[in-house]
């Protein structure tokens, strides 16, 4: 137990510290996590033996639930509306068509039985949400004609169909008598009903104020995500479809404290992706991969250059897309974690095949992410599909329902330089607006002629600052022995590019000036550029 926790902590810490460096690499960062897992594995430097498919299945399947939910939660339906039909067509008929095309190729080119061929096609028939989201965001790849939204919805919604095809094929290979139409109706209907009902019930609870804090709301939503998969799965429905739809329903609805929920699930899904790809790299035995490398390469090449372009071209033809859009959508059919998770499912069911299914699918995924993922930005540029005026984050619903405005309060006393002035006389910048004045028992929505009086509390609106990459905040506590005690701020030597922006004194928050005298117990909040040394507090 201790060893597992130590390994997990070290991996997450290492991947987090590597984050900024990984974003600058030409290759997708998910490849690094796989390589790191292989490095830790039994054929790597640390030689950690790990072949527990049951544990891998539980961890990866659970992580995939949160990735699916957040894929739906982050979907901006308003932005995606022009391409939602195309996305749904690709995520349903496209998955089935891809599975069938790969099955035909595997049967004739690799001389495999039909059921084995169709199982391979089913497992790798869906594009991977984690891989697509990761590349679009990390490379800031905004695409024309809402193509980024199309890829977002397709990759987020096609895993359930691939999962159903896989389970049906595994069941038939295991000798079960499966009535496919009834099973598909059961899986889809229960998945849709449970996902939407749980999403609606969760929103009702959040809006009723039944949860007293942001923390309890976050924990509540965490449990909803788990239930969105577990409930329909227990009833015989499709849990992944339910999770995705629950996410879409909740993400497209205005929620209290939505920004904090987004931050939380950003972290959870990032950790989930790191764990999945690292664990899969740890699970694979590299020395066994050469046995399946050639068939994996053959399937990947056929999938990339024949099956995916053919299916995309046929299904998108009625919508009259541009050649550039067809090219990018065809190239962006990345295979990823879902395919490997479904392969693990088949392995655990004891399906016998000529090739080791896990190793075969692992190689296909590795080749797909390496080749297609690395070249996706270049292919998009070559096809003139990059929209340099757009922001890819706008295709996601992270903050679309949140205001990017912050509110600031200013007390006006009798000695304040603004006391007695009208608002139109104040030397305010154009992007700063007085939105309210609290005056004794009265609340005033002001105009330019409103005159400020002593005792007024002004509320001003300004654009929120979000990019903290080059700015950090540091706290300095003034104790009895501190050398700054009793000095005014103008007497304190500070480093370049640093500023004391706030002083916390007991229950009071002070916006400091040069004449502010420091007292025992004061907590100074210092803003500084990350490119310069920290302020000396000794």
Least confident of 191-195, 254-258, 265-269, 530-534: 530-534
What's the confidence (pLDDT) of residue 257?
Answer: 67
Phi, psi of 425 (to 5 degrees): -90, -10
Assess contact for 220 and 202: CB atoms under 8 A. yes
What are the tens digits of pLDDT across the range 260-313? 777 788 778 777 877 788 888 888 888 888 889 999 999 999 999 999 999 999
Q: pLDDT (tens digit, 9 = 90+) per residue, 181-198?
A: 787 788 888 989 999 999
Question: Going by C-beta distance under 8 Å and a sequence separation of 6 or more, which residues neighbour residue 84?
Answer: 77, 153
> Tokens 């540029």 belong to which residue?
381
Give pLDDT, residue 535. 45
How would residue 423 be classed by pLDDT, with cut points 50, 70 and 90? confident
- Measured CA to CA, the distance from residue 230 to residue 219 in angstroms comes to 17
The closest of 67, 32, 99 to 374, measured between CA atoms, is 32
Contact 89, 158 (CB under 8 A): no
Kindly list the structural domains of the chain, giving each domain's residue range(s) and its CATH number in brackets, ordered by start.
52-389 (1.20.1530.20), 405-463 (3.30.70.1450), 471-529 (3.30.70.1450)
Q: Is 372 within 8 Å of 303 (Cβ atoms)?
A: no
Q: In what order do the strands lie in the sheet with 508-510?
A: 471-477, 523-529, 498-505, 508-510
> What pLDDT sits at residue 109?
92
Sequence-distant (≥ 6) Cβ neighbours of residue 433 within 8 angstroms: 460, 461, 462
Residue 375: which of 339, 333, 331 has the closest Cα? 331
Quick count: other Cβ atoms within 10 Å of Cβ 12?
A: 15
Name which of 168, 179, 180 is nearest 118 in CA terms. Answer: 168
Select, from the ranges 20-24, 53-57, 298-302, 377-381, the one with the highest average predicted confidence (pLDDT).
298-302
Please tell me which of 99-103, 219-223, 490-494 the model is most confident about, judged by mean pLDDT. Answer: 99-103
Whether the predicted pLDDT of 323 surpasses 70: yes
Integer Cα distance of 379 and 234 in angstroms:
43
């Amino acid at each position: 137990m201790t060893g597992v926790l130590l390994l997990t902590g070290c991996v997450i810490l290492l991947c987090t510290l590597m984050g900024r460096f990984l974003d600058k690499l030409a290759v997708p960062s998910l490849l690094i996590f796989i390589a790191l897992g292989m490095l830790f594995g039994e054929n790597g430097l640390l030689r950690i033996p790990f072949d527990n498919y049951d544990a891998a299945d539980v961890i990866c399947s659970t992580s995939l639930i949160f990735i699916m939910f957040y894929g739906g939660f982050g979907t901006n339906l308003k932005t995606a509306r022009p391409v939602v039909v195309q996305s749904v067509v690709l995520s349903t008929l496209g998955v089935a068509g891809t599975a069938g095309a790969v099955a035909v190729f595997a049967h004739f080119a690799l001389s495999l039985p039909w059921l084995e061929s169709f199982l391979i096609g089913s497992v790798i028939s869906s594009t991977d949400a984690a891989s697509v989201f990761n590349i679009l965001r990390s490379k800031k790849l905004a695409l024309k004609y809402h193509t980024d939204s199309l890829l977002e919805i397709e990759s987020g919604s096609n895993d359930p169909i691939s999962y159903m095809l896989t389970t049906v094929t595994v069941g038939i290979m295991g000798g079960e008598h499966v009535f496919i139409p009834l099973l598909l109706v059961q899986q889809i209907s229960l998945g849709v009903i449970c996902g939407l009902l749980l999403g609606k019930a969760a929103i009702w609870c959040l809006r009723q104020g039944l949860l007293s804090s942001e923390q309890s709301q976050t924990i509540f939503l965490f449990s909803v995500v788990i239930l969105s998969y577990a409930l329909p799965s227990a009833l015989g429905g499709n849990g992944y479809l339910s999770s995705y739809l629950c996410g879409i329903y909740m993400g497209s609805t205005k929620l209290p404290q939505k920004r904090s929920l987004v931050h939380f699930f950003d972290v959870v899904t990032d950790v989930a992706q790191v764990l999945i790809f690292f664990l899969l790299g740890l699970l694979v035995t590299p020395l066994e991969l050469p046995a399946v490398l050639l068939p994996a390469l053959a399937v990947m090449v056929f999938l990339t250059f024949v099956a995916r372009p053919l299916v995309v071209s046929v299904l998108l033809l009625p919508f009259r897309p541009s050649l550039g859009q067809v090219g990018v959508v065809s190239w962006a059919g990345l295979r990823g974690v879902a395919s490997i998770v479904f392969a693990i499912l088949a392995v655990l069911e004891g399906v016998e095949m000529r090739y080791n299914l896990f190793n075969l699918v692992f190689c296909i995924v590795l080749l797909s992410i390496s080749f297609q993922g690395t070249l996706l930005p270049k292919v998009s540029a070559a096809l003139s599909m990059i929209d340099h005026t757009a922001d890819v984050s706008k295709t996601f619903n992270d903050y679309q329902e949140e205001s990017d405005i912050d509110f600031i309060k200013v007390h006006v006393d009798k000695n304040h330089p603004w006391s007695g002035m009208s608002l139109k006389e104040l030397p305010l910048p154009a992007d700063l607006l007085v939105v309210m004045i609290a005056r004794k028992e009265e609340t005033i929505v002001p105009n330019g002629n409103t005159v400020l009086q002593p005792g007024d509390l002004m509320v001003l609106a300004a654009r929120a600052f979000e990019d903290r990459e080059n700015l950090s905040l540091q706290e300095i506590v003034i104790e009895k022995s501190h050398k700054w005690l009793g000095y005014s701020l103008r007497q304190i030597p500070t480093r370049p590019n640093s500023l004391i922006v706030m002083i916390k004194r007991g229950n009071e928050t002070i916006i400091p000036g040069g004449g502010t005298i420091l007292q025992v117990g004061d907590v100074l909040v210092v803003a500084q550029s990350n490119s310069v040394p920290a302020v000396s507090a000794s």
